[in-house]
């Protein structure tokens, strides 16, 4: 909302974002203040409002597109990849696409397979876009502001289960960097890289690990494309062991790319192969017990660290 007040070109588009306030109430009350032209309710066609956002961005607006659930943005893949990501390049830099594409994603509580998609793995190859994942109210605000102010198209991944978090955040305006990772807990024994909801599972596991005498360093990578290899590299050079904990599927996930990037750049500093804990390559089942175990749980993280540190 601060961004909308600050810059009259910022607008919001999505299904039910206006008077309904958004499926997770992210845009609640925005329509009352800014009117329903600036907070636009759209018909159900993700490719179309994403395309509209691209067109509006090229002619001067700064749209924030909301996918009601991130998974629906798969319908907008053509617009995101071929137009959003490419038009700045193919036009020779003449037209910029300063859009933010955001929405709730990740595995929730029994939302069914189609509503539990993790799109960061599908989008990570698209040249021209930046991807960030927020995990706390503090970084959500900072990253959102940075994304809106960025001249590049940014995909901001929020998580369905993290909307109820409450946190004290500064009154003053602050903007975070889109390419920086966040040091959650400095440590000496092992580097645990994570993002979004898994950060909380990792921190829970960290408590157990500390009790067992380990000292894990936890980094929330936040920037999924490009990776903040500076922060990550410094950490690897210190601890020499890496564990990646993510919610993506194993095949072709963020963890897979990150493993490759670390191996390429910091191979000499590693004392052990990188371990990556991810969800299995299955659609998310509806049954609560099954769903729980498709996502990495703290006990698994503890076991992995113990094995890594042997």
Partner 1 sequence: MIHHCCRSSYFPREHYSVPENNRIPHLLSCNSPTRFTSRRFESIKPDKQLDYVNDNGGPQEYIDIVLSSLRSDTVKLRHAKKLQMFDLRRFMILSAVRETVLNFPGGIVKFTQELKFLSESTERIPCYRVLDDRGQLLSNNCMQIDKNIALKMYKDMVMLQTMDAIFYEAQRQGRISFYVTSIGEEAINIASAAALTIDDFVFPQYREAGVQLWRGFTLQDFADQCFGNTLDNGKGRQMPAHYGSKKHNYITVASTVGTQVLHAVGAAYSLKMEGKDACTITYFGDGGSSTGDFHAALNFAAVMEAPVILFCRNNGWAISTPVTDQFRSDGVVVRGQAYGVRSIRVDGNDALAVFNAVQVARKIAINESKPVLIEALTYRAGHHSTSDDSSKYRPIKDIEWWRLAQDPVARFRKWLEGDDWWDSQAESELREATRKEVLHAIQVAEKIEKPGLHEIFSDVYDVPPSNLSHQENSLREAVKKHQQDYPPDVPF
Residue 195 and residue 198: Cα distance in Å, rounded? 6
Residue 63 in contact with partner 1, rule: CB under 8 A: yes
- Give the pair of three-digit tokens for residue 261: 């990037």
- Cα–chain-centroid distance for residue 153? 14
Residue 147 in contact with partner 1, rule: CB under 8 A: no
- Is the Cβ of residue 172 or residue 264 nearer to partner 1 in the bound state? 264
| 46 in active site | yes
- Is the Cβ of residue 9 or residue 185 nearer to partner 1 in the bound state? 9
**DSSP letter (8 states) at residue 153:** -
Asked if 177 contacts 146 with a C-beta cutoff of 8 angstroms, the reply is yes
Subset of residues 26 to 55 that bind partner 1, contact rule: CB under 8 A = 32-38, 40-43, 45, 47-55
Residue from 56, 205, 232, 274 binding partner 1 (CB under 8 A): 56
| Residue pointed to by tokens 């994942």 | 133
Q: Measured between alpha carbons, how far is residue 177 from residues 84, 152, 267 in Å?
A: 21, 13, 27
Task: Kindly give the residue spans of alpha helices, DSSP state H, lying in 67-164.
Answer: 77-78, 87-90, 120-123, 137-149
User: Which of 3, 66, 115, 189 is labelled catalytic?
Assistant: 115
- Is the Cβ of residue 102 or residue 199 nearer to partner 1 in the bound state? 102
| 292 in active site | no
Q: Measured between alpha carbons, how far is residue 15 from residues 10, 73, 133, 212, 307 in Å?
A: 17, 12, 21, 48, 46
- Neighbouring C-beta atoms of residue 262, cutoff 10 Å: 22
- Is the Cβ of residue 79 or residue 284 nearer to partner 1 in the bound state? 79
Q: Which stretch binds partner 1 (CB under 8 A): 183-191, 227-235, 239-247, 269-277?
A: 227-235
Distant-in-sequence, close-in-space partners of 141: CB < 8 Å, separation ≥ 6 = 169, 174
- Is the Cβ of residue 63 or residue 106 nearer to partner 1 in the bound state? 63
Subset of residues 1 to 30 that bind partner 1, contact rule: CB under 8 A = 11, 19
Residue 82 in contact with partner 1, rule: CB under 8 A: yes
| One character per residue 100-139, x = contact with partner 1 (rule: CB under 8 A) | ---------------------------xx-x---------
Interface with partner 1 (CB under 8 A): 11, 19, 32-38, 40-43, 45, 47-61, 63, 78-79, 82-83, 86-96, 127-128, 130, 150-152, 179, 226-227, 229-230
Give catalytic residues, as residue numbers.
46, 115
């Amino acid at each position: 909302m601060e961004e909308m007040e600050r810059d009259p070109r910022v607008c919001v588009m999505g299904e039910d974002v206006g008077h309904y306030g958004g499926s997770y109430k992210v845009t609640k009350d925005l329509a009352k203040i800014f009117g329903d032209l600036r907070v636009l309710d759209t018909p159900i066609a993700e490719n179309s409002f994403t395309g509209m956002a691209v067109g509006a961005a090229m002619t001067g607006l700064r749209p924030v597109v909301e996918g009601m659930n991130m998974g629906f943005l798969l319908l907008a893949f053509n617009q995101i990849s071929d137009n959003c990501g490419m038009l700045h390049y193919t036009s020779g830099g003449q037209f910029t696409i300063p859009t933010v594409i955001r929405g709730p994603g990740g595995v929730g509580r029994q939302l069914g397979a189609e509503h539990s998609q993790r799109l960061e793995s599908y989008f990570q190859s698209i040249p021209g876009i930046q991807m960030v994942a927020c995990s706390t109210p503090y970084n959500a605000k900072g990253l959102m502001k940075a994304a809106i102010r960025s001249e590049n198209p940014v995909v901001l991944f929020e998580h369905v289960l993290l909307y109820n978090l409450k946190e004290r955040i500064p009154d003053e305006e602050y903007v975070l960097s889109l390419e920086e990772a966040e040091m959650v807990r400095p440590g000496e024994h092992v580097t645990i890289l994570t993002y979004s909801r898994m950060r909380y599972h990792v921190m829970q596991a960290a408590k157990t690990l500390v009790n067992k005498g380990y000292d894990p360093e936890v980094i929330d990578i936040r920037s999924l494309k490009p990776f903040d290899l500076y922060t990550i590299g410094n950490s690897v050079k210190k601890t020499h062991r890496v564990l990646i904990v993510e919610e993506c599927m194993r095949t072709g996930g963020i963890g897979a790319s990150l493993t490759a990037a670390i191996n390429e750049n910091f191979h000499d500093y590693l004392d052990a192969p990188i371990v990556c804990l991810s969800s299995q390559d299955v659609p998310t089942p509806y049954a609560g017990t099954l769903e729980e175990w498709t996502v990495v749980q703290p006990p698994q993280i503890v076991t992995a660290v113990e094995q890594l540190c042997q």
